[in-house]
Amino acid sequence: MSVSSIDWSTERHHATSTQQLYMRHRFLRTVQKFAPWLAIVSIVTVLWGLPFLPVHSAASLFLVQSSAYLIFMFASLGVVYQTWHQKRVIGGLILIVAAGFLCQLYVRSSDVTFNNGWATLATLFADQQGNMVFDLGMAMLVLLAAVLHHRHCNRASQVLLSIAVLMPVTGLLAWAYRIPHAYGQLSLLTTIGGSLCAAALLARQITATPMSYLLLLDDTGKHLRWIVCILITCAIVLGGVGVFFDNDLRLTPIIITAALILIIIVMTLTYYHKGVMHEQVLPPEDLAFASELEAAIAQEAFYLVYQPQLDFETGKLVGVEALIRWQHPERGVVSPNQFIGVAELTGLIVPMGAWVLKAACAQAASWTTGELSRAKVSVNVSPLQLNTPCFAEYVLLVLQETGLAPERLVIELTESAFIHADCTGNERLQKLKQHGIKLAIDDFGTGYSCLAYLRDIPGDYLKVDRSFVNDIPGKERSEAVISAIVVLGKNLHYQIVAEGVETEAQADYLKALGCDFVQGFLYAKPMTAQALQDWMRNRADLA
């Protein structure tokens, strides 16, 4: 059943901090997906650029140069392996890298004199030929960062990678300041291939703290980014002013680059240690689960089951509660207890709830004979849905499209929905009531119980939570609570629905107490629409 004629996901809804956090993590996970592609481009860049490198006559310089590029390629291979976990792909890439590198090494080694030995290394640090010192330095940073990441030392790894990524800035600053022969300039191949490799490693661990704190969406995160940008701008401008008054400051680009790195690291670590993260953090496994859930919503990989609600006196069907199930391609049928919480935290409950509402109304409207044609359908609505500006209009539009009579729809809201609803939320409920839609308060007594909304909200049904029903008869406190709920509800003209009834003793006690309707495994489990129709036919035959 397709319910995509209304694209609820495009509607604006109240953005909570947890939803903002999920959006940030979704962005970070997208960055992670690009990590292997950055690594592959790094490998291709190095292999393609090797034939065009100037060959140094000193064997030591040649080996240093080759070692740096070999580190970039194998560090990139590690990123690809960690992301894709495909041995055949990784094995093929390793063979290509090794073969290409060895071919280059063989061809170029004939042009290199190896009789100089390692003595040239002593003068390497004083020689700027090809800037090999800085090329090898960047390679060592990348290698050490890869090792630290493998050992789950994310903080130290991110610091080294930040330095490696910003190293090419030195050459750019030297060019901007018009400083000839400045220190710290990398070769072109290292600038491109090494930067891509370092960026791939950084993207692979971008969801880990403290680096990810730079991308928080709260006001403090925005304030941090503004401070970092201002400090970086000031450092670059002051460096340019210094060079303008003294053209011989060849170390200025290095000093300014180091200042930029320190600004980012110090500010990030300071922000991290302050612990000013106000949002509820989803653990990594829940983030991955939320991504799967988001894809399932887009693909409509859900179906509904319906649990009958019966009249305690006559035993006739008075309604059904629509319950969502997720048909996961690997895990099979996933219970809502496993994904509703994540959907609430991330805001995915809004498009999911819209799907449930329309699917349930369409199914109820298709029942045109027997007791099902008169049965009400109950749909659970989250506080986020209620706080959506277009919620009431959407409900009415669904009824219009499906042809379901408004009096056959019951909107179920938990206590928290009433507690956190603003004035406009209450106005939306009043508008729905004016059109004949019924309202039910679900799980009463389990949340932030407030008697004011029982008085002010013109509800129709009060549902006794199964947590109380499980303890009766026999437990005095639970019996007292249920008795108080029933008496209070009756005095406020609510009809009482007892849910979670599983034994005859529970049913007899609740019936004697004055409950109007009953729902539970004693009578029927949640079932698909077709199974529900078969169940109704069997009841009719037995009658």
Q: Does residue 138 share a domain with residue 52?
A: yes
Quick one: 249 and 330 in the same domain?
Answer: no
- How many angstroms from the chain centroid is the CA of residue 30? 10
Q: Are residues 306 and 216 in the same domain?
A: no
Number of domains comprising the chain: 2
Domain's final residue, options 274, 290, 321: 274
Domain extent, residue 53, equals 17-113+122-274
In this structure, the answer to whether residues 263 and 400 fall within a common structural domain is no
Q: Report yes or no on 11 lying in a domain.
A: no
Among the residue ranges 123-127, 167-171, 393-397, the one predicted with the least confidence is 123-127
Residue 73 included in any domain: yes
Q: Please say whether the beta carbons of 515 and 500 come within 8 A.
A: no
pLDDT (tens digit per residue) in 6-57: 444 444 334 455 566 566 667 777 788 888 888 888 888 887 777 666 655 5
CA distance 350 to 12: 10
Q: What is the mean pLDDT of residues 119-137?
A: 54
Distances (CA, A) of 79 to 41, 75, 160, 223: 12, 7, 16, 32
In terms of C-beta distances under 8 Å and separation of at least 24 residues, what long-range contacts does 74-78 make, across chains too?
A: 75/39, 75/142, 75/143, 75/146, 75/197, 75/201, 76/39, 76/40, 76/42, 76/43, 76/196, 76/197, 76/200, 77/39, 77/43, 78/146, 78/150
End-of-domain residue from the set 274, 292, 311: 274
Q: How confident is the model at residue 247 (pLDDT cuts 50, 70, 90)?
A: low
Span 337-386, pLDDT tens digits: 888 888 887 778 888 888 999 999 999 999 988 888 889 999 998 888 88
Q: Rounded distance, CA 297 to CA 332, Å?
A: 16
- Same domain for 402 and 498, yes or no, is yes
Q: Is residue 282 part of a domain?
A: no
Q: Do 361 and 264 fall within a single domain? A: no
Same domain, 264 and 342: no
Tell me if 206 is assigned to some domain.
Answer: yes
What was the pLDDT predicted at 305? Answer: 93
Q: Is the pTM higher than 0.85?
A: no
SS3 assignment, position 4 = coil
Whether cis (ω within 30° of 0) applies to the bond prior to 51 is: no
pLDDT range class, residue 106, cuts 50, 70, 90: low
pLDDT in the model for residue 96: 72
Residue 213 lies in a domain: yes
The whole-number pLDDT of residue 3 equals: 43
Residues 6+ apart with CB under 8 A from 186: 131, 134, 135, 138, 167, 168, 170, 171, 194
Specify the pLDDT at position 12.
37
**Same structural domain for residues 344 and 268?**
no
Tokens 């509820």 label which residue? 280
Residues 200 and 320 in one domain: no
The verdict on 406 and 455 lying in the same domain is yes
CB-CB neighbours of 529 under 10 Å: 21
Residues β-bridged to residue 302: 326
Same domain as 54, residue 147 = yes
d(CA 133, CA 120): 13
Dihedral sign, CA of 404, 406, 408, 410? positive
In a domain, 158, yes or no: yes
Higher pLDDT, 543 or 302: 302
Tell whether 397 is covered by a domain. yes
Model pLDDT for residues 257-291, shown as the tens digit of each residue: 888 888 777 776 666 555 444 444 556 566 677 77
Question: Which ranges constitute the DSSP H helices of 246-306?
Answer: 252-274, 284-299
The answer to whether position 521 is within a domain reads yes
Based on the domain organization, do 189 and 306 belong to the same domain? no
Mean pLDDT (the chain) is 77
DSSP-derived 3-state class of residue 319: strand
